[in-house]
Amino acid sequence: MRIAVAFLCLLTAPAGGSDVLPGPIPAAVTRVVDGDTVEVRARIWPGHSVDVRVRLADVDAAETWRPRCEAEREAGEAAALFVRERLPEGAQVALREVRLGSFAGRVVARLDLPDGRDLGDLLLQSGHALPYSPRPDWCGEGTS
C-alpha cells in the first residue's frame, strides 16, 4: 500500500518536489513515444496499475516532433527505432529513481530493459542520445 500511495503522491505532487521512488517498479511498455520517452503501465500495487509517460533520466534524444532541422529529425527517428527494437509493446521493464517531471505530465526515471540493462546508458553508448542538456545541439549550430 505504501508504494501505491507514494507513487500516486509523486504523480500529483507540485513540480520541483524532491520525492524520489527508488524502485524497482515493474511496468509494461504500451508505446514508444520517441527516443527518450516511453509510455508504460506501471504496477503500483497488486491489482492496481497506472498509465504514465516516462522521460528517461539524464539523457536527451533528438526530437521527432518539431525538430529544428532535418538532421535532428533523422537522429530522432533513428533513436526511436533503436528503442522500439528493444521495447516491443508489452515488454516488461523496471522503473528506478522515479520522480515527477517538470512538464507534459510525465515522470522522469531510469528504465531497465527485460535483461536488466539501463536503456539510457544504451542510448548514450550507441550515440542515439546525449547527456541531458537544456539545449542539445543536434543541428551543428554550436548552441548546446
Q: Which domains does the chain have, with CATH numbers?
A: 2-12+21-131 (2.40.50.90)
Residue 1 has a CB neighbour count (10 Å cut-off) of 9
Q: How confident is the model at residue 135 (pLDDT cuts 50, 70, 90)?
A: confident
Q: What is the pLDDT of residues 95-111, one digit of tens each?
A: 999 998 877 678 999 99
- Mean pLDDT for 15-33 is 85
Mean predicted lDDT score pLDDT of the chain: 85
Distance separating alpha carbons of residues 27 and 37, to the nearest angstrom: 14
Cβ contact 24:112 at 8 Å:
yes
Q: How confident is the model at residue 18 (pLDDT cuts 50, 70, 90)?
A: low
Q: What is the pLDDT of residues 66-90, one digit of tens each?
A: 888 998 999 999 999 999 999 999 9
SS3 37: strand
Overall pTM surpassing 0.95 (yes/no): no
**Furthest-apart CA atoms within the chain: distance in Å:** 49
pLDDT for the residue numbered 134: 77
